[in-house]
Amino acid sequence: MSGVLDDNIGVASDNYLRGMSQENTLMRAEFNPAIRTYLMFYIAFMLLVTVVGIPLIVIWFLGWGQWAIGKYYRSLQCTLTDRHLQFSKGHFFKTEKTIPLENIQDLTFIDNPLLKYFDMRILKVETAGNSAQTGADMKLIGIMDAAGFKKQVMLARDQFQERRMTGGGPAASGGDDVVEVLREIHASIEGLRKELADRE
């Protein structure tokens, strides 16, 4: 009979842990289509500066640049969850980064004349320690309403830290799930007691 109880408690515990590991998506960033034009001119400028790349500028503007940058733009994704900030980019050489909210120290803006011309900014995510384990700094270019996105990230970070301090953990909002698990465990124990009483 104890085996049945163990199975019931095990299932309840698994359901609880599965709920704790789930993340809620708070926001998905949108990227300014002007990124494509900005990158066209920026990369052309870099080819011009290297001198060796000058012959490639013609090929760049004749179509290959638009094709490559189009694929790059469509690959851009940035998602804010209640536990992480996730970012991915690149078609040929894909880069994916996930930064835990508790590691985010600050978000700062980077400007240059070309970015201002296209009404864009670079949003730099500064992380604690800057180590490979905690995640390197993340640079997000061309996010629509960058100031609003920064505000949402900092708010999510503060709420995450508050949940941890109050002992709520990442899924503090799932209090109903905890109560349900406790009820299942209680019901299992009561069922065991009943069967033992009937045997006596």
Highest mean pLDDT among 62-71, 165-174, 185-194: 62-71
Only one residue has tokens 């085996």, namely: 3
Closest CA to 39 of 66, 64, 62: 66
**Residue 63 clears pLDDT 80, i.e. is over it:** yes
| pLDDT bracket for residue 86 (50, 70, 90) | very high
pTM (2 d.p.): 0.65
Closest CA to 152 of 69, 88, 90, 79: 79
**Edge-to-edge strand list for the sheet holding 138-141:** 104-110, 122-127, 138-141
> Cβ atoms within 10 A of the Cβ of 97, count?
17
Only one residue has tokens 């033992």, namely: 196
Residue numbers of the domain that contains 128:
26-171
For residue 43, is it within any domain? Answer: yes
**Residue 45 clears pLDDT 70, i.e. is over it:** yes
**Residue 6 clears pLDDT 80, i.e. is over it:** no
Closest CA to 65 of 81, 84, 45, 85: 45
For residue 131, is it within any domain? Answer: yes
Query: What CATH number should be reported for the domain holding residue 133?
Result: 2.30.29.30
Number of domains in the chain: 1
**Residue 134 clears pLDDT 50, i.e. is over it:** no
Whole-angstrom distance, CA of residue 178 vs CA of residue 169: 12
Closest CA to 95 of 64, 141, 56: 141
For residue 6, is it within any domain? Answer: no
For residue 148, is it within any domain? Answer: yes
For residue 65, is it within any domain? Answer: yes
**Residue 172 clears pLDDT 50, i.e. is over it:** no
Whole-angstrom distance, CA of residue 167 vs CA of residue 34: 44
For residue 117, is it within any domain? Answer: yes
For residue 47, is it within any domain? Answer: yes
For residue 4, is it within any domain? Answer: no
